[in-house]
Structure 1
Amino acid sequence: MKQLHAQPYDLSATGFYFETAEEYAEKANTLRNDYGAPVEEFEIQFIDGEHIDCELAQAIGLNQANLAQFLTAVDEWEEWEKQIVIIAVGECGYTFEKDVIPTQFDVEIHDVSTMRELAEQFVDEGLYGEVPEAFQHYIDYDAIARDLAMDFSVIEIAGERYVYACR
């Protein structure tokens, strides 16, 4: 469940809570200020819902123009798709445009919480070639992690840490 609030910029009008695009449109179209004039501009506020959805709203700069698309994303996207968009738009400089598809962004996400863990993962996966067992104890993972930090960053999304790169 999600709950949002439409706060009018018109100080003589009272905002309203809503959960769907249809409910927003119905309430926004009928709202009048204290003088009987229609209210047209609102600040959209994320009030309650999943932590990742709150972070998605913040990353895309939730507003009237992208509200319907945001609500569709919240209902239809998988968590990993939301993570991609949060990183792409919030950190990498991509824009949240109409009909955005999360896989269109060139973002690499690793389910590790530190650069050192990423270094260890890359060595284990053979990214640096095969390392004989006798030499594995001599690998300087911290040095590899410092090098990886030139291309990768760490982010926390919904209480979980990830290492990512924007391409």
Structure 2
Amino acid sequence: MTTFYAQPYSLCASGFYFECADTYEAKIGKVRDDYGQPVEEFEIQFIDGETIDAQLFKALCVHQSNVNTFIEKLEEWDDKEKAMLIIAIGECSYDFDIERDDPQNFDVDLYEIDSLKDLAYQFVDDGLFGDIPERFAHYLDYDAIARDLGMDYAEISIDGINYVYRCG
């Protein structure tokens, strides 16, 4: 279960922990400062949960007006969609509205692979460089191909999984 903390911007009030939208909605209207005034603005903090969810929270810049949608989407999106969002928003600088947009609609080539050199091997095997006979493939300089791929592709590790990606 993912745990969040709603920290009031007012120094005269105490925040609260929550794990679901219902708890958040129930508690947010009841918070008062030391003078009995209602607290209206909160910073939402990610406290505990999966590493990929924490990275997604940071990439999406979750705040009090979209935290309920974020909690809902955590259950809806799989890890591949979450990784795509982290890369598209955090690395490729795409805009994303958590309320309306679909994480599948980004022009990002994403490969779950350890390195650019492994991607070079995969591209040769897939025939992206033409039909190269098996006996000649052993003589290719895969390090040089990987360096060339590095002009368009980058590597990132998300939640212990290595990805190679290219922003479109």
The answer, yes or no, to whether TM exceeds 0.5 is: yes
Please say if 1:102 is aligned against 2:93: no
**CA drift at 1:159:** 1.2
2:55 alignment counterpart: 55
What does residue range 124-143 of structure 1 map to in structure 2 within 5 Å? Answer: 124-143=125-144
Alpha-carbon separation, structure 1, partners of 2:111 and 2:150: 13
1:28 alignment counterpart: 28
Letter of the 1:71 counterpart: I
1:19 alignment counterpart: 19
What does residue range 30-109 of structure 1 map to in structure 2 within 5 Å? Answer: 30-97=30-97, 98-109=99-110
Please say if 1:165 is aligned against 2:143: no
Q: Is the 8 A contact 1:110 1:162 kept in 2?
A: yes
**CA drift at 1:95:** 2.0
Please say if 1:111 is aligned against 2:101: no
Q: Which runs of 5+ in 2 are unaligned?
A: none
**CA drift at 1:7:** 0.6
Alpha-carbon separation, structure 2, partners of 1:60 and 1:10: 24
Q: Is the 8 A contact 1:69 1:99 kept in 2?
A: no
Alpha-carbon separation, structure 1, partners of 2:96 and 2:65: 11
Letter of the 2:42 counterpart: F
Q: Which runs of 5+ in 1 are unaligned?
A: none
What does residue range 4-15 of structure 1 map to in structure 2 within 5 Å? Answer: 4-15=4-15
Alpha-carbon separation, structure 2, partners of 1:68 and 1:105: 23
- Per the alignment, in what secondary structure is the counterpart of residue 12 of structure 2? coil
**CA drift at 1:121:** 0.6
Q: Which digits, 9 at most, give the CA deviation of each residue in 1:31-57, with x for residues without a partner?
A: 000001111111111111111111100
**CA drift at 1:134:** 2.2
